[in-house]
Amino acid sequence: MARLMNTLETVPASEWEDWVEENDGLVLDVREPPEWGLGTLPDALLISVGDLVDKLDELPRDRAILCVCRSGSRSHQVARFLSMSGFRRVANMSGGMKALGMQG
């Protein structure tokens, strides 16, 4: 029997607000605390990659989650992990905070 692979949704950085609103989504910023000090997206939940496993229960499984990092690489890995961990609707913001013109 073939196993279906979840395809991760990719959200262009310029459309993150629309995606969150349309999906009643949560923004999960997986950068490190010093990076958060450079700016975060409004109402983002801040859980660094290194703390994610320990704080997995803090994430709502009934909401869509948009993963965000500096460039989109770490958040893509986190999105794949969440998807494989049973979260139903997970997306990655392509280009990360850099795509929005933010340093962090």
Domain architecture of the chain: domains with CATH: 9-99 (3.40.250.10)
User: pLDDT digits over 22-80, tens only?
Assistant: 999 999 999 999 999 999 999 999 999 999 999 999 999 999 999 999 999 999 999 99
Query: Catalytic site residues?
Result: 69
Strand order in the sheet with 90-94: 9-12, 90-94, 65-68, 26-29, 45-46
Report the DSSP beta bridge partners of residue 11.
93
93 neighbors 75 (Cβ within 8 angstroms): yes
Q: How confident is the model at residue 3 (pLDDT cuts 50, 70, 90)?
A: very low
DSSP state at residue 71: S
DSSP class per residue in 7-56: PPEEEEGGGHHHHHHHHT-EEEE-S-HHHHTT---TT-EE--GGGTTTTG
For strands 90-94 and 65-68, give the pairing.
parallel
Query: Using CA atoms, how far apart are residues 92 and 83, in angstroms rounded to an integer?
Result: 11
Task: State residue 7's pLDDT score.
Answer: 67
The pTM score is 0.91
Tens of pLDDT, residues 88-100: 899 999 999 999 9
Beta partners for residue 67, in sequence order: 28, 92
